[in-house]
Amino acid sequence: MPPWDPGLQPERTELAWRRTILAATAGLAIAGRYAGASQPVLAMVLPALAVALGLVALRLVSSRVRAIDTALRAAGPDGPGSRTSERATARPMPGGGMLMATAGAAATALLAATWYVVSAAL
């Protein structure tokens, strides 16, 4: 008997990541449009860049969730760190790179928004 819901938990996780990425992409696209309002080329490039990065993030999330699901299923019911599962050590769990990239994108968006507000006020 597996220690997780046999199909819904990975799906819920992936859907939560998709919602987060969709919201961030839409927000960055709108912010890019306003940030480049004085320059038409920049007003087109920034939203396009936000959408492209959002699509890349969606692809990475899908592959990460599938890798986690595969690693959990390979580990068996005792979990990925158990001594009884020999296959768990052969394929480690995915790292926190996606979380780090999301935090970095959020920090970059925060800095860009701060710069935009300060430069508009001056």
Q: For the segment 85-122, what is each residue's pLDDT rounded down to a tens digit? A: 454 455 555 667 777 887 888 888 888 888 878 888 88
Q: Which of 79, 92, 65, 82 has the alpha carbon at shortest distance from 1?
A: 79
What does the pLDDT average to over 52-76? 82
Does residue 23 contact residue 58 with C-beta atoms inside 8 Å? no
Q: Give the per-residue pLDDT at 88.
A: 45
Query: 5-9, 30-34, 54-58, 65-69: lowest mean pLDDT where?
Result: 5-9
Give the global pTM. 0.67
Does residue 73 contact residue 4 with C-beta atoms inside 8 Å? no
Q: Give the per-residue pLDDT at 51.
A: 92
Asked whether the predicted pLDDT for residue 79 surpasses 80, the reply is no
How do the domains of the chain map onto residue ranges?
8-121
Q: Please report which confidence band the pLDDT of residue 7 belongs to, taking 50, 70 and 90 as the band edges.
A: low
Query: 93: which DSSP letter?
Result: P
